[in-house]
Chain A
């Protein structure tokens, strides 16, 4: 059969960021896909050559506007590990709370984009309206809606008062109730089930073979979650990774729907357990220059991120590297696209929740 090559991207209605897949088709079926990324490669890792390690965190959180808090946190945790800095407990709880708020806003953003991709504009607007309220919480507590700059090596820059934490919890629980109605549309609407059910199925074996991470792996039944390691106070939070077994586009939606509720629950637990009272220490400042290397793993909204930091005793790091979850999920995405119908490609690509800025750094 004659083969046709169709470039998917770099500009496409479902792609908020540029990526190209050269789709090789036989009739309407995709038989191969060749990715080209790099359109927004900024060489941020190279900036360690001329940005001092105390300032590099501000560069790192600009890797991506959706995961900015987690990138900043991952960088600081890495340096704290190398420099053996003990982070004050309240600062660790605040980081956990912000990290879970970050997960909620990321999932709401993605759910909106997903709804838009399969033609449900109304759902898109509901998701993004709720996300705006999460961004309001970020703005009120950190001063920034997208770039927060609240992480410091050794702690955090700002406190959240106990009264403010209580108010945030009330608002999140109200949003959680509101979100249940939106979530029920995603999980019960027959047109969505028809569009996403059974599409882009990734089995648990395939997910392992392609080194898939995050909600994408959990939707295939793999209970992987870096938070289970217990670092950054997650050992004091009761939770189990949310998994689905179908491995299709719909399962990937459902995992993220359920993770929004789970994150609200984690924030509730954190506010209950954190030491009360303002005026507590928030930061132990670093002294001297770091020497050593470390790998740091965090569970970002899209899955496991790995930071590699190598320091040589000068004020400039020798190497900083972020392996982001989207980078890890690209092989699975390519595998899923092979064999599918052309019309399903947008939904398959979108359900890995691709973040190209993160991928290319």
Chain B
């Protein structure tokens, strides 16, 4: 991701009086092109009844800059992304050092952890999601270099 452009866009939201509404990560399962999977990360902002978001595709080795310099409250979401997804968020204003959630499994929402669970379910005959869900138009993430902004449907 283009760190400078991303942070500049975040700062625009900050100066525009937007409130950080949510940072959300979704794991994308591994494919031939991306054998280790990836993450679809959304930074959502609210101002009154308006709601907008930025979206980035993040690779397992990518560094994601913290936005806590602009939005101090981001630290909870960013610590959550680290602990549940294993996303490498750097520059947090409050680093909880992996102590936010007490989970029995490390990074339980990472693509590899999800795949392992689904494969274990399949082996045990437990009905669950497939490791190869059908491709859908929305699943194509925005280019890493240009953060995509949008409004929800």
A interface residue numbers (CB < 8 A to B)? 34-39, 41, 43, 45-46, 48-50, 81-82, 208-211, 224, 226, 228-230, 291-295, 297, 304, 306, 308, 310, 312-314, 316, 318-319, 321, 323, 327-328, 330-332, 360
Return chain B residues, CB-CB under 8 Å to A318. Answer: 26, 129, 133, 139
Return chain B residues, CB-CB under 8 Å to A314. Answer: 129-130, 133-134
Query: Does B48 count as interface, using CB distance less than 8 angstroms?
Result: yes
B108 touches A211 (CB 8 A): no
B76 touches A313 (CB 8 A): no
27 A–B pairs (Cβ distance < 8 Å), ordered by A: A37-B101, A38-B99, A38-B100, A43-B108, A45-B109, A50-B127, A50-B128, A82-B153, A208-B17, A208-B19, A211-B20, A292-B136, A292-B153, A295-B51, A297-B21, A304-B46, A308-B42, A312-B133, A312-B134, A313-B134, A313-B136, A314-B129, A316-B128, A316-B129, A327-B76, A330-B76, A332-B73
Q: A39-B102, A304-B21 are in contact. List 7 more A-B contacts (CB 8 A).
A: A36-B100, A224-B48, A295-B22, A306-B21, A318-B129, A330-B76, A360-B101
Q: Which residue of A lies closest to B44 (CB)?
A: A295
A35 to B102, CA, bound (A): 13
B138 touches A291 (CB 8 A): yes
Q: Which residue of B lies closest to A223 (CB)?
A: B48
A124 to B114, CA, bound (A): 45
A310 touches B129 (CB 8 A): no
Return chain B residues, CB-CB under 8 Å to A330. Answer: 76
Interface of A is mostly: mixed
Query: Does B35 count as interface, using CB distance less than 8 angstroms?
Result: no
Return chain B residues, CB-CB under 8 Å to A316. Answer: 128-130, 133
Pick the residue among A224, A323, A331, A332 that contacts B75 (CB under 8 A).
Answer: A331
A319 to B136, CA, bound (A): 14
With A50-B126, A331-B73 known as contacts, the answer to whether A295 contacts B152 (CB < 8 A) is: yes
Q: Which residue of A lies closest to B104 (CB)?
A: A43
Q: Chain B, 49-83, contact with A by CB distance < 8 Å: what is the 0/1 string?
A: 10101000000000000000001110110000000
A321 to B24, CA, bound (A): 8
B108 touches A312 (CB 8 A): no
Return chain A residues, CB-CB under 8 Å to B121. Answer: 49-50
Q: Chain B, 107-137, contact with A by CB distance < 8 Å: what is the 0/1 string?
A: 0110000100110010000111110011010
A328 to B152, CA, bound (A): 20
